[in-house]
Amino acid sequence: MDVAERIAVVTGATSGIGKATARRLAAEGSHVVLLARTDSDLEAVAEAIRAEGGTASVFPVDLADREAVESTAAEIRSAVGDPDILVNSAGIGDWVALWEAESGQFERIMAVTVFGAYNLARQFLPSMLERNRGYVVTIESPAAHGPIPGATAYQTARYALRGLSESLRVDLHSTGIGVTSVIPGVVDSEYFERNDGVEERLPGTAKSLDRLDPATVADGVLEGIRGEKNRVYKPETLRLLVLARRLFPNRFDSYTAERSWQPSRSE
């Protein structure tokens, strides 16, 4: 699918992969609709896009709030038009074991990461189906393909997001709507600054990968849309780790658990 002269909604658009993807889509001719919680941060990204010759609209929204998502979707349709592309990049990156989680923390991680993507797809897919044209991209995580000790809520949300993406791919296979999962390794972004303790809990398999520039992952998004690919791995060697876990799950899980975060005796 060509991205020029398309309306592309990008969540998590104020930092990291979401921001890089929005800028790349705009540079390739899409009108990008930027979604995140903070209006001032959204405007800063939009101004940068416009300075580069692109076009952008901003819609601040809390993806955990279903009613807010529904009203924002209606505003987008009214002010900009029916989206052709939806990129689900937003998610909460708290890495905590089940017993470490604060009250409501698990629910919010699920609400933003999973239900935010679900509710946006629910809002925009009907018009895509009517036009027999559209694309849904989900930024996944290696955490949806193998164990990450000490990150119960995060990993649960990522598995659910993977399930949503794979279900949509099957449901939409006979339509003109494509679904791509982009699976990046460790990305060099503000993620680690905003999520204390995550870097220390990275399993050895993740630490063995070079850190990616968010722009490289954005390239993967464009690669997936234009090539209508089911999955895009960045780096490509990550595919081998996913395959190894699929072929040897017991050994892979044991190896990861033994060389990763361990709960203290007091826990």
Query: What pLDDT score does 267 carry?
Result: 46
Contact by Cβ (8 Å): 120, 9: yes
Give average pLDDT by consecutive 10-residue segment, the chain, 267 residues: 98 96 98 98 98 98 97 98 98 83 91 97 98 98 86 92 98 96 87 65 66 95 98 93 89 80 65
Contacts of 103 (CB under 8 A, 6+ apart): none
In degrees and rounded to multiples of 5, residue 86 shows phi and psi of: -125, 120
What is the number of other CB atoms lying within 10 angstroms of the CB of residue 48? 15
The pLDDT of residue 211 is 82
The single-letter code of the amino acid at 153 is: A
Q: What interhelical angle do 249-258 and 238-247 show, nearest 10?
A: 110
Tokens standing for residue 227: 């090539």
Given this model, what pLDDT does residue 198 score? 66
Does the active-site annotation cover 255? no
Q: Which of 155, 138, 24, 145 minimizes the C-alpha distance to 96?
A: 155
Return the pLDDT at 191: 66
| pLDDT of 204 | 61
All domains in the chain, ordered by first residue: 7-258 (3.40.50.720)
Nearest-angstrom CA–CA distance, 164 and 180 = 11
pTM reported for the whole predicted model: 0.91
Residues 91, 110 contacting (CB under 8 angstroms): no
The residue annotated as part of the active site, out of 154, 159, 191, 233, is 154
User: Coil, helix or strand for 137?
Assistant: strand
